[in-house]
Amino acid sequence: MSIEATITTPHARAVIDLQAVAHNTALFAAHTKAAVMAVVKADGFGHGARQVATAALASGAGWLGVTTCAEALHLRLGGITAPILSWMHHPEEDFSAALLAEVDLSVSSSAHLRSIARNAATLRVTANVHLKVDTGLRRNGARPAEWQELVREARDLERAGHVRVRGVWSHLISGTDPAGGQVRSQIALFDEAVDLARDAGLRPELRHLANSVATLAAPDTHYELVRPGIGLYGVEPHPERAFGLRGAMTLRARLILVKRVPAGCGVSYEHDYVTSRDSTLALVPLGYADGLPWAAARRGEVWIAGRRFPVAGQIAMDQFVVDLGDAPARMGDEVVVFGPGAEGEPTVTEWARWARTVPHEIVTGVGPRVSRHYVHATTQQPGELSRA
Ligand SMILES: *Cc1c(COP(=O)(O)O)cnc(C)c1O
């Protein structure tokens, strides 16, 4: 076997269903009159930014959202020409490559604005910027007290031809309560900020505030553009309602060792788990370095041959053990760690609950040893893994 074949032989793979991404994008588009920005930061929440972006743009998205200029440039290098907004920057970073690649830049302070304008002036281009106002999240965004000064400065730089204020935007505090009073007060602050920008002479054509859950459940946050992230990947963002999103990632592996042990047998580090009867134990070649949360060990379950089995003992860096009881199993049998849930296999949301974390951390945590495979059709069942 060649070296190349060996290094690409996967212990485990994440199968990404781009048809699900397309379905989810179209579902968001159907919930709004606004344009849809597909948020593909953090390598498309671990699914592959370029592949997700391509599927989303073909299914109703008109914009892409990323965190850094580097992420935006990766998309441009991948041949993607759609509008992209990048929203987290050091004020003194070199924006030249992003400006030449026609990446829109978010601005949260005068320091950022001046630096971007300086870069644009040097290159003799006009930077498209989206001014971000902090309506309560207290992360990125200008404080309301700084806003008036920021919009005046932006107006002057716009008149000088160095920037064009294409958007005004903000981000919601709660990912789970789209109809709450907090959202109402953020909308009010946001509208005030937009009015101040207009009073200063700016004409932003894109106001945007909504994340996934607000796109589905809070229409008054939509304005001209919505920014769904987690929902594109099929995680239902609303705590009580399901909207028909389809899980895009299935994490699969093969059992690499199967052994029979007697009752009373301690399993994995510290022997936290002890077999209650004669049992078949199976070894799964995935661990916390691959994104399986250590904290999920006591509660985690996996799907083997159409049934759920418990994780036995601690999840290690590279592997964990499953207690199969008396169920038959052979080395090489397939295990599904999580998938869309349609067949009964565990979902990303369940793994997040078992680990006391958010689903976002589960999907973005799937590590580099796990090879990504893309399928375009939904004909593949969670229980099957092609031996290609
Ligand atoms: C991540 C992110 C989103 C997407 O939020 P979801 O809750 O994943 O839909 C939208 N806007 C900003 C600024 C973000 O950082």
103-113 per-position pLDDT tens digit: 999 999 999 99
Please tell me whether residues 229 and 258 are part of one structural domain: no
Q: Is the CB of 178 under 6 A from ligand 1?
A: no
Over residues 144-154, the pLDDT tens digits come to 999 999 999 99
Percentage of the chain beyond pLDDT 90 is: 91
* Mean predicted confidence (pLDDT) in 26-35: 98
Please tell me whether residues 41 and 162 are part of one structural domain: yes
User: Residue 174 — very low, low, confident or very high, per pLDDT cuts 50/70/90?
Assistant: confident
Q: Which atom of ligand 1 is nearest to the CA of 360?
A: 8
Please give the Cα distance from 224 to 259 (Å, whole number): 58
- For 379, the token pair is 């004909």
Contacts of 33 (CB under 8 A, 6+ apart): 222
Asked whether residue 380 is assigned to any structural domain, the reply reads no
Please tell me whether residues 201 and 316 are part of one structural domain: no
Query: According to the model, what pLDDT value does residue 11 have?
Result: 77
Question: Residue 80 belongs to a domain with what CATH number?
Answer: 3.20.20.10
* Mean predicted confidence (pLDDT) in 23-33: 98
> Is 198 a known ligand-binding residue?
no
Smallest CA-to-CA distance from 186 within 174, 198, 176, 197 is with 174
Contact 319, 329 (CB under 8 A): no
Query: According to the model, what pLDDT value does residue 376 have?
Result: 81
Please tell me whether residues 216 and 363 are part of one structural domain: no
Q: Which domain holds residue 284?
A: 249-375
Domain stops at, among 233, 267, 295: 233
Largest separation between any pair of C-alpha atoms in the chain: 79
* Whether residue 4 has pLDDT greater than 70: no
DSSP string, 5-64: HHHH--SEEEEEEHHHHHHHHHHHHHT-SSEEEEE-HHHHHTT-HHHHHHHHHTTT--EE
User: Residue 179 — very low, low, confident or very high, per pLDDT cuts 50/70/90?
Assistant: confident
DSSP conformational letter for 367: -
Query: According to the model, what pLDDT value does residue 381 have?
Result: 46
Question: Residue 290 belongs to a domain with what CATH number?
Answer: 2.40.37.10
CA–centroid distance for 23 within its chain: 16
Query: According to the model, what pLDDT value does residue 355 have?
Result: 98
The torsion defined by the Cα of 240, 225, 208 and 48, in degrees rounded to 10, comes to 70
User: Residue 386 — very low, low, confident or very high, per pLDDT cuts 50/70/90?
Assistant: very low
Whose alpha carbon is nearest atom 1 of ligand 1? 229
Query: According to the model, what pLDDT value does residue 380 have?
Result: 40
pTM of the model as a whole: 0.94
Query: According to the model, what pLDDT value does residue 8 have?
Result: 54
Q: Residue 279 pairs with which residues in a beta bridge?
A: 261
Smallest CA-to-CA distance from 372 within 44, 84, 20, 4 is with 44
Please tell me whether residues 292 and 357 are part of one structural domain: yes
Kindly name the residue from 41, 132, 223, 273 that is annotated as catalytic. 41
Write down how long the chain is: 388
Asked whether residue 116 is assigned to any structural domain, the reply reads yes
33 is a catalytic site residue: no
Q: 239 or 160: whose pLDDT is higher?
A: 160
Q: 175 or 73: whose pLDDT is higher?
A: 73
Asked whether residue 381 is assigned to any structural domain, the reply reads no
